[in-house]
Structure 1
């Protein structure tokens, strides 16, 4: 009988970023569970001993190959375990400006689109994403 790893019994810290380029924000579609088929922001878990900014830069580079400048904290979300979600995550979401590169996706993602911030809700997005993107857009000032 295979041994199944149990999810951690404490919240996991994660980061994400609303990346803006020419007045548009980058949305990425998750290719795997949890979140398969939903558009969200690039990001992921913070590793032990890693600063939030270092984790964010690493995750963005790993998932999209983009270089960004982090502008500040735009908000946070909390994902609580449910039957379809094996983990409890606290996600700190930042506003960032695109500096260089075109999205080159890793195997966790299957699509990337640049969209107007007000159009985020037109996509199948993770809960609370339109509000986080709006707060990030207000933070960067355009």
Structure 2
């Protein structure tokens, strides 16, 4: 049960009592996009946007910036929301094993040295056209494509941390 999960350090990610809020980052550098190879379930071993769970009391902006730094060693600035996604994963018996509400941000690269963190197997920049041949997490390619359009859109930001 949940008590056992907490003792095992899983902090209720698996078979949660309620949806968990996560953030993801789309970071471009010279036409390439930043991806991490996941070092934990769900989607262990797949390439994904860097990100993770929002901590209690933390803003979405602070969470995405912290997660990118932890997973890749890079300092970024959250620019705007690219996508909001539902991720509900069921086990073979039909029970909800994971339920995430994900908010993906377009982020600007500020500084740092690219190096995978403890929960990432690897991290690197890839040309978006090379992603079709890679094992990606569900929806990652679509979010990256949407982020490319968002970059060109400009105008009014969707996300305002002051509201």
Q: Give TM-score scaled by structure 2 length.
A: 0.79
The reply on whether 1:60 has 2:71 as its aligned counterpart is: no
The reply on whether 1:39 has 2:47 as its aligned counterpart is: yes
The reply on whether 1:132 has 2:143 as its aligned counterpart is: yes
How far apart in 2 are the matches of 1:75 and 1:118?
Answer: 20
Unaligned runs of 5+ in 1: none
- Contact 2:34–2:123, Cα closer than 8 Å, also in 1: yes
For 1:115, which of 113, 126, 138 is the aligned residue? Answer: 126
How many correspondences in the alignment? Answer: 140
How far apart in 2 are the matches of 1:47 and 1:32?
Answer: 18
Larger Rg: 2
* 1:74-128 deviation digits (Å, cap 9, x = unpaired): 1122111311773200110011121212222112111112111232222100111
- SS of residue paired to 1:81: strand
How far apart in 2 are the matches of 1:118 and 1:9?
Answer: 39
State which drifts further: 30-39 or 80-89.
80-89
The alignment's C-alpha RMSD in Å is 1.9
For 1:51, which of 44, 47, 59 is the aligned residue? Answer: 59
Q: Could you tell me which residue of structure 1 aligns to residue 8 of structure 2?
A: none
For 1:10, which of 15, 18, 38 is the aligned residue? Answer: 18
- SS of residue paired to 2:97: coil
For 1:21, which of 25, 29, 44 is the aligned residue? Answer: 29
How far apart in 2 are the matches of 1:138 and 1:120?
Answer: 17
- Contact 1:71–1:140, Cα closer than 8 Å, also in 2: no
Asked which structure has the greater RCO (Cα within 8 Å, sep 6+), the reply is 1
Unaligned runs of 5+ in 2: 6-11, 154-163
